Each structure stands twice: as C-alpha cells, then as structure tokens.
Structure 1
Amino acid sequence: MVAEAALSPEILSRYEAVVGLEVHCQLLTESKIFAADANSFGAEPNTNISVITLAHPGTLPKLNRKAIEYAVRIGIACGSDITRRNIFARKNYFYPDLPKGYQLSQDKGPICVGGGILVKVKDPVTGEPYQTTIQLHHIHLEEDAGKSIHDGDEWATQLDYNRAGTPLIEMVTEPCIRTADEAGQYLTEVRRLVRYLDICDGNMEEGSLRCDVNVSIRPKGSTKLGTKVEVKNLNSIRNVMRAVDGEFRRQVELVETGGKITQETRTFDAATGLSYAMREKETMNDYRYFPDPDLTPVVISDEWLADIQARMPMLPAALFQKLTATYGLPEYDAAILTDAKELADYFEAVCQHTTQYKAASNWIMGPVKGQLTDKTLRERQFPVSASQLAALIELVANATISQTAAQQVFGLLLAQPDASPEELARANGLIQNRNTDALQTLVEEVLAAWPDKVEQFHKGKKNLMGLFVGEVMKKSKGSADPKLVNELLAKTLQKK
C-alpha cells in the first residue's frame, strides 16, 4: 500500500469517481411475494416458512398482487415508465440460504424503466449547494434469500429461511453519481420516499433497506467507463458514503502504483472503513437467466394503473409546497416537517383543531420531535394526540397558561395521555392569574420592597423591569400573566 500522504489532493483531483447504486427495499406486504407465508421481521427462526418457500417438489408459486402495486407506486413517484406485461426469470446460483437453487427475479423486462430522484447536495470543493437528478436505469421486483447465521463457529452455519421469499424491489441507478455526498443524499431520498409511499419501513439496521455500491474511476474529462467494483455489506447511509470515498481512494492508489483494477465483489468493514475482496464479480451469463415456467405473465391494465395512481399519497415536494403556501410556514419549518411523513401528517392533524400554524410547527419541531428522538418513539405511537396538542396551543394563545406552564403540561400529558391539557393545568395550579386587582396589589408590594431599585429605574436603568416582573411572578407562584404584569408595572412606575 502507498502511504496516505502519496494520495495528495492534486493526485486525487486527476480522477473522477463513477458510482452507481443498487438499493434493495423489502416491501411491507403481509405475505411473501410468491407464497402465503407471513412477511414479518423478528419471528423465531424458520417459523414463517412453507413447502413453497422451501421449494418442495410439486409446489407452485403465485404472485402477490400487492407487491406489483407497491413497485408501481415507486415507479410513478420517480417518473418511470411502467412495464405493462411483466414476467419473472430464474436467476441461478447456489448458496445455502437460497432454498430453490435459484432466485425469482425480473431480467429483461423490469417493472419500472427510467425516471430519477432529485437530490440537494454540496460541492465537495467549494461547499456551494446544488441540485442534481440521480437517474434510474430501472426498478425490478424479486424475492429475497434467507439468512446465514455464523455464531462464532467457523465449522457450522445456521440457516433461517424466514426472509426467503420476502418481496423486494431493486432500484438500480445509472452510473451518474460522482461524490459520496450525492450517494448519501440519494439514499436518504429513497428512504424518505418509500416511507411516504408506505411500501417499506426503510430500516437499514434491520436490513429492510440495503445498498450495494458500484464504483469505478476514470481520468477527469474522460467519458469511458472504467472497471467497476461492487461493495456489499453496507447497513447505513454513512457507511455508503465511507465506502464510496474509500473505494475511490483505493482504486486511485492502485492505478497510481501501476496496479490493475479487478472486477470483483468486496465486503465493507464498518469498524475500519476498509473493504476486502470476497470473490470475482459474476457476469449476467453466469446466472443463466431463463423465464420461469411456473409463473404466468402479469398484465397491468389501464384500469389497474389508474387505480394505483388515484391512491398515491402526496409526495414530499408537493407537501413542502402545501406547508409553505397553505399554512404559511417558513421553508425551514416545511423542510423539517416533511423529512418524515409521520411528522407532516401529525402537523396537519393538529391544524385541524387550531389555526395557530406556526405555533404547531414550533411544538412539533421542538418538544414533540425531542421526545421522539430521546425515547426512540415512532411518530404514530406518540401518546399526545393531535387534538390534545392543539388544545394546549390554544391555552397559550388565549393566555390561559404561559408558555413555560405549557411545557409542564406537555410533560404531564406524556404520562397521562387520556387527560385534557386544561384539566391538568388547573389541577397543578398553572392557570394564569389575570385578576387585575390582585396582580396590582402584588405589583405595589414588590415596588414598595425595592425603593432603591425603583429610583435607579427612573434614572435610566430600564433593564430592572425584568427584576420587578420576576419578583411579581415569584409572589404569584408563577400563576401571574407575564404580559399583564408588564403592563401593570409600566403604568405603576410612571406614577411613582
């Protein structure tokens, strides 16, 4: 290996990375793609299996209609052309976790062709933001393999076939990605998109969204593609970006020292950030594709396609426009809220009960999102309902409670989700005191107790108003309306 110093910025700048991604998304169907076995994560090993999954002789697969619809959804969202006549082929290879000895996949006719996903990235040199569309080559349907488990025993491998037959879409980009940031932002958008469409949970830690990276290099200005290397075993967006950068540097170093890049598959070690050779890359001919004789072609009719289109949810870009135009939110707020569909849905649900749209946005971006992060709650499991949060916002808007008291009520709601915000505020003495006579008495007491401060105030130390307000709030045990206290203090001090 060449010393790291040898890979100077000047040397690296002579080359360009050419990157393509293959993103596998497990679809959220109730059953598998060709069998009625349950499609669920976390079950006991080898419990979600049947004779079809295990490829017993004489068994016949049957295509899951919902898997087709989910694939069409993502194709529509990406602006792809939808293939109307779909067939499946046998992709032949022999691994222990593949019960049939072949994988059912789409070869010549993927269900979605073309399209792209817009991403926002920063130039790695100047730091300037720019937008680019990552072009898709195609999206195809296939089944997942089982899982090989190596529990420290180098002589034995355990096999769990629960995952075998899980429906997948594979989203294959053109080799149009040039930087690690573009790769990371693309994968981020894919994850957000499949969650919006409710076709995949996007959980990379559990393997329901996985990414393989194809990297090659070429001299700057060249249009000829180099020898590509595939990097597997990437379980996070950060690791995808690290793999792109690492493989780019490895290939540049290899070329600069007179070596030759081999078309191969490599595995990524997240602990070291390095990749290691696994095997030489297979070619299409190695898989000996041929149409599966047990599955009839599936034709997507005009009526079926129109029905899927009619049930498409609002996508992030359109929802961003709605939040800024209809609700008048700043672009920053809209970007945060549309980052996850559940947050945007929760915001709109809150706005069904209040017109305090900016306040609703502030609460969701602040305390609500903070709870989801700190307690790792899923948004749809959040204990405070939209109507409760709206009621809390209204209590602040009409000065029934202070913003500080509202934070306390919010904490109480998390523990008592069936209670109403106003009931909790009253039970805990958090309703603001707006009794003018009572508050005027407290104001007079505070000013009488601080005659020297009053004199300093009149000599120009106007920041003492904060002291007076604080003392009145103490005397009221936090129940006084701060706005009214300020008004009464101002009038009283004018008279003294």
Structure 2
Amino acid sequence: MKNILDKYDLVVGLEIHVQLNTASKLFAADKNSFGDAPNSNVSPITLAHPGTLPKPNKAVISHAIKMGLAINCDIAPYTTFDRKNYFYPDLPKGYQTTQDQHPICRGGYIDVKSGDGIKRVKFNRIHIEEDAGKSSHDAEHEGSLLDYNRAGTPLIEMVTEPEISTAEEAGNLLTEIRKIVRYINVGDGNMEQGSLRCDANISLKPKGSDKLGKRVEIKNMNSIRNVQRAISHEVERQADILEVGKTVLQETRGFNDETGETTGQRTKEEANDYRYFPCPDLLAIHVSEEWIAEIQATLPQLPHEVLADLQTNFDLSAYDAEIIADQKELSDYFYATAKLTSHFKRIANWMIGPIKSYLNDSNIEIQEAVIKPALLAEIIEMVASDKLSFSMASTRLLPALIDSPHQSAFDLAKQMELLQSDDQDELVKTIEDVIASMPDKAKAYKNGKKGLLGLFVGEVMKKSGGKANPKVANKLIAELLEK
C-alpha cells in the first residue's frame, strides 16, 4: 500500500454509529436491551401501528449532548427530527426518524496518534436517529426472520470530515471513540454486539490534488481491525481501476471478513434519494445553556486527560499510563489505590503484572476483583517496607488473599510465615552455612569473581524459605565473603 500512496492520497471519512445505553427506546417505552428473546421488546409504537405517535426520550438527548461535549462539539440550542425514507424489511415504519437539517451537535474534534505524531480529526456533526430491526437467515427457515427488538433503539451517528489519510488513523480514532463512550457511560461500545458500528467512505485522488475522487462507502463494519482491512483493500482495488484509466463507481459495498475483500451491494444513494422532510409528529427541542451546564458537570476525566494526569502527576511511563487509562475501571482502581499508598510505580507494576494475570485467569474485569484497592495498597506497603518480598507477595500471599479476601494482608502473611526475618543472628548463621557448602565458589569470589554474589544471595533466599531480607542478606554475604 505504501507504493500506491506515493502516487495517490487516501481520503477517508467515517460514520460511526453508537447505540446508547438508555433504559428505553428513542420514541417508545419499550425496553432497550441486547440479547433478549426475539420480538419481546416491542409495542405498537415500535411496530408502527396506525395512529401511534412517538415521544422523545430525554435521556437520549442528554447522552448525545454528553458525547458532543466530550469531543468538543458546539451543542445546538434548537434541534429537530426528520424522516429519511427508504425501505428495508426490518424498518417497520418504512422510514427512519433521524436528524438532517438541525442535528444536536456540530463540529468537534478528537486528537489521535498518526505515525510518530498526533493528528486532529475534525467532525462534521453528531445526530440522533433510531436503529432498524434485524433480519436473520438460516437453513432451517424459508425466507428471512425479522426481530424488531432493535427497531427504535437510540443511536448517535458521529460523522467525521473527510480528512483521515491512513488505515492506522481510522483505527486509532475508533479506539478513542470507544474509550470515550465507555468512560462517559453513554454506551457499552461492544462492536461484536453491533452497539458500535462503522461505515467508511473511501476514495483516492492524485497526490497533492485538491479534487476528491469518487467515494465508495463500506457499510456496517463491527470491528476496528475490519475497518482497517477494508480501507487497505479499497486502496488497492481503487488504485487498480485508476491505473488502467477507468473511473471508480460511486457505490455502497460490504466487507467480507473471511476473504478480506469488499463486494458491491448497490449504487450509492444521494441525499435527495432519501426524500428528507421534517417529521410532522415531533416538535423542535430547545436545549438551554443551563441543561448543557448540568450535563457538562457530570463528565468525568476523559481518557486523554487521565493519560496526561498519570504521566504528569503520578510519574508513570507512557506505556504504563496507556494501559491504565485504556479503561475507566482500571484508572478508577489506580486512583483509589493511589489514595492509600504513594508508591505509584509499584501500583502500576502490580496492576499490569500479578493483578492482570489474576483477572485473566479468572476471566473477570477489575471491578469484579476481590483484591480491592485497600488490600493491594496494604500489600504494596508491606513490600516497600521490606516486611515481605515481592516474590512471596505475588506468588503466595496474593493467591491466598484471593481465597480469603476479607483477611488483613499482614495477618495472613504472618499466619503463612511469609514475613521477612529481622533476626540478624539467624541470617548470619544461614549465610555461613551456604558459604561453607560452596567453598570453591567462595574462593572464586575472593579471587575477583564478584558476579558470584547473586548465586550466594539466591541460595540464602532458598534456604531461608524466602524470609530473608534480600537487601540485608546481600550486605552480610559480601561482608562474610571478604573475611
């Protein structure tokens, strides 16, 4: 792809659909829930029975404003709904209620990684719309099966400007959006369940040209990797067409994740094909400055703010900070632990090391862990004060605390005889026994092979059952070997 991009500029615009996690649907009181029995969350409004009228869900408007504030949008003081007319068998009304002329949010931007730098990707708008139902096809049934549970569920569509120029930037933008959605709790961002989906508008133009090429829209991709694969494939496909002097057809295509290729679905519709017009059943919504301020006050620290904070105020490396800032639950856990111990680097090491292994082995998330911040802070303080070695803490005490999380870490370590010994006389005797058992190594050390010190320390730790203080042992071994 690199050679192709020496001759052409790639231009990508993304349309990201985020399903909102409100309790009910956009215009009906039906339950908004994934995975329920087919057609169990429907009502006459969802099924578009004659005479039914929609009523906007205030929580949906609030969620959309919240997302707009999180990505630096201008919030519209006046917003309206429109009808977008097209036919799908799983769209009960035969039209979709969306926003065309007066969307809830305008503008906005997100800064993303691009190569070795940072690129600001600007947004055109965020608008609210309802989702369609879901069609299923299987070998057991003739024709299609329709599940209307998803019909009417609330979405926001986030539309970028056409200024993404690599598959990497597209992937990084989606990753950041998913983080923000989860941090501010407007959705779960689960792409595998379809609650975050992406359409990509992709085109090539001659290097340095101001004139955009014909764009192709790839619909309904449900993984970040597939978005990147689809872009890479389209770059090659469109370049092959342009290289033989042909014109790229403006169309809608689908992506096959098994073959890694896109296939044509239909000629691309223009806005006038949808025959947009204001929805006569819904009044305009006025958004006050007071309401915006209330929503702004509920915003937590955003992922990029947490990332900067962890590096600036807690002195974490970029690597450690990125891992902890990746999920709000992880950063919350770090901050809670950091209130109880000032050993910030040790907190990160434990979270990225032993705690992460425990979560993976148990197949749970950090918020489900029985090792709460107070317990981790107690362990860290014991290790930092040389009461307990990291090895004993991570391999023996941690598993025991997982089984008995209501015990004090110190009390359990004492019961298990894991605490490091302060008895210097006993330690000296252990060291003398180890030196006596390896006379040749002791002689080699005295003759200049100082690297053997680690061997003696290891043997002393073994013989003491890990209870010897390694710092004290190191000093005493060196002193006794020099005699």
**TM-score interval, smaller chain:** over 0.9
- Correspondent of 2:270 among 283, 299, 322: 283
- Correspondent of 1:417 among 381, 384, 405: 405
Distance apart, 1:493 and its partner CA? 2.5
Task: Please state if 1:449 is matched with 2:454.
Answer: no
Task: Please state if 1:197 is matched with 2:184.
Answer: yes
Deviations 1:67-96 (A, max 9, x none): 111111111121111111111111111211
Q: 1:455 is aligned with what amino acid?
A: K
Deviations 1:412-460 (A, max 9, x none): 3334433332233233332222211211221222222233322222111
Q: Which runs of 5+ in 1 are unaligned?
A: 1-7, 123-128
Aligned partner of 1:103 in structure 2 is 96
- Correspondent of 1:427 among 415, 418, 432: 415
Deviations 1:334-363 (A, max 9, x none): 222212222111100111111111111111
- Correspondent of 1:235 among 195, 198, 222: 222
Q: 2:462 is aligned with what amino acid?
A: K
How far apart, CA to CA, are the structure 2 residues paired with 1:351 and 1:112? 37
Aligned partner of 1:30 in structure 2 is 23
Aligned partner of 2:307 in structure 1 is 320
- CA gap of 1:137–1:153, structure 2 versus 1, over 3 A, is farther
Q: Give the SS at the match of 1:13.
A: helix
Q: Give the SS at the match of 2:202.
A: strand
Q: Give the SS at the match of 1:205.
A: helix
How far apart, CA to CA, are the structure 1 residues paired with 2:365 and 2:35? 17
How far apart, CA to CA, are the structure 1 residues paired with 2:359 and 2:228? 26
Contact 2:4 2:236 in 1 (8 A): no
Q: 1:493 is aligned with what amino acid?
A: L
Aligned partner of 1:329 in structure 2 is 316
Q: Which runs of 5+ in 2 are unaligned?
A: none
Distance apart, 1:140 and its partner CA? 0.4
Q: Give the SS at the match of 2:264.
A: strand
How far apart, CA to CA, are the structure 2 residues paired with 1:452 and 1:18? 71
Structure 1, 74-83 or 483-492: larger mean CA deviation = 483-492
- Correspondent of 1:468 among 436, 440, 456: 456
How far apart, CA to CA, are the structure 1 residues paired with 2:287 and 2:478? 73
Structure 1 segment 48-447 matched on structure 2, within 5 A: 48-122=41-115, 129-152=116-139, 155-373=142-360, 375-408=362-395, 409-447=397-435
Contact 1:434 1:484 in 2 (8 A): no
Contact 2:90 2:146 in 1 (8 A): yes
Contact 1:20 1:174 in 2 (8 A): yes
How far apart, CA to CA, are the structure 2 residues paired with 1:421 and 1:60? 60
How far apart, CA to CA, are the structure 1 residues paired with 2:281 and 2:96? 13
How far apart, CA to CA, are the structure 2 residues paired with 1:353 and 1:492? 40
- CA gap of 1:452–1:217, structure 2 versus 1, over 3 A, is closer
Contact 2:389 2:466 in 1 (8 A): no
Structure 1, 411-420 or 263-272: larger mean CA deviation = 411-420
How far apart, CA to CA, are the structure 2 residues paired with 1:414 and 1:386? 13
Contact 1:12 1:249 in 2 (8 A): no
- TM-score (norm: length of structure 2): 0.95
Deviations 1:161-216 (A, max 9, x none): 11111111100011111111111111111111111111121111111110001011
Sequence identity percentage = 51
Aligned partner of 1:3 in structure 2 is none
Q: 2:40 is aligned with what amino acid?
A: T
Alignment RMSD (CA, Å): 1.8
- CA gap of 1:46–1:10, structure 2 versus 1, over 3 A, is closer
Contact 1:12 1:252 in 2 (8 A): no
Aligned length: 482
Structure 1 segment 6-17 matched on structure 2, within 5 A: 13-17=6-10
Contact 1:16 1:219 in 2 (8 A): yes
How far apart, CA to CA, are the structure 2 residues paired with 1:136 and 1:20? 9
